[in-house]
Amino acid sequence: MSVEHPIIAVTGSSGAGTSTVREAFENIFTDIGANPAVIEGDSFHKYTRSEMYERIKVPDLFGRRLTHFSPDGNHFDRLEKLFNEYSLTGTGEMRLYLHNEAAAVPYTGLSSGEFTDWQPVPTGSDLLFYEGLHGGLVTKQYDIAQYVDLLIGVAPTTNLEWIQKICRDSAERGYSHQEVVNTIVRRMPDYVTYISPQFSRTDVNFQRLPIIDTANPFDVQEIPSLDESLVIVHLLRPEKFTLNIDELRERIQNSFSIKDNQLIMPAEKMVYAMEILLTPVIKMLVEKHSDVRAQAG
């Protein structure tokens, strides 16, 4: 953790609500005038899309296949080094993962599913903002979570997460239904080992759950809408926040609590909840950063 160079990380599986999170943080950064260095977790995957496709065909000596959740599929060493260097100096190395052909257009010779070259993090940022799979990762070899000043978990219920992945990968990436199901099954051991434990290390979790029948997620034809969902906000470390659950409940219509430090609310209120809960914390981090820089100057 660093007063001079704070790090905010949003951790959660791709498709877990990243567009909602992005909207909330764009609003927050604009509102407080913060200049973030934005890091996408996908850019720390080890292999291009085509390389990954070939590698998952071949199991290791124990019959396990490569996944994007595991150490073998990622540059955890580079991610930890980035967080460490940024917390100390406000610098580090980053790159981009080109998700589609539109993203690849500015980069001559690169195509969708490939990476740009490693380059320095732009200077002059107020904070580092990471969004990806491993912002709260801790293993025997790596401890990425230790550098994070504000760790936010975004985790839909498991069935909803599977529904989102099946619908997204089928519609946007051209995979068949069975191919996506096979991927879910293949990744499950690594999800349990590397993804789920992170949500016990977060400062706050936002968990979306459908209120319609999703008992068989492999037979649901469309993602439940916001009107068909609720969101649970869980303050795991309430001392970090200026608002408590009671104050949050007063400001969010139709919300209620049934357990300490947890609030249940309509899913369409998630962006608003993020903004009113997180803005004071992020503003404080940025102000402390500015004070330290002013004293140094």
- Tell the CATH superfamily of the 7-282 domain: P-loop containing nucleotide triphosphate hydrolases (3.40.50.300)
What one-character-per-residue DSSP string does 124-141 give?
A: T-SEEEEEES-TT-B-SS
Two tokens, residue 69: 């959740």
CA separation for the pair 289, 8 (Å, rounded): 13
Task: Give the Cβ contact number of residue 120 at 10 Å.
Answer: 9
User: pLDDT tens digits, residue range 113-170?
Assistant: 999 999 999 999 999 999 999 999 999 999 999 999 999 999 989 899 999 889 888 8
User: pLDDT tens digits, residue range 38-63?
Assistant: 999 999 999 999 999 899 888 776 66
pLDDT of 221 reads: 85
Domain limits of the chain?
7-282
Report residue 290's pLDDT band, with 50, 70 and 90 as the boundaries.
confident
Residues 6+ apart with CB under 8 A from 49: 112, 113, 114
User: pLDDT tens digits, residue range 173-221?
Assistant: 778 899 899 989 999 999 999 999 999 999 999 999 999 999 999 998 8
Report residue 294's pLDDT band, with 50, 70 and 90 as the boundaries.
low
Two tokens, residue 129: 């903002």
Tell me the residue type at 228: E
Whether the CB-CB separation of 184 and 162 falls below 8 Å is answered with: yes
Task: Give the Cβ contact number of residue 125 at 10 Å.
Answer: 18
Nearest CA to 133 among 122, 144, 121?
144
User: pLDDT tens digits, residue range 72-83?
Assistant: 999 999 999 999
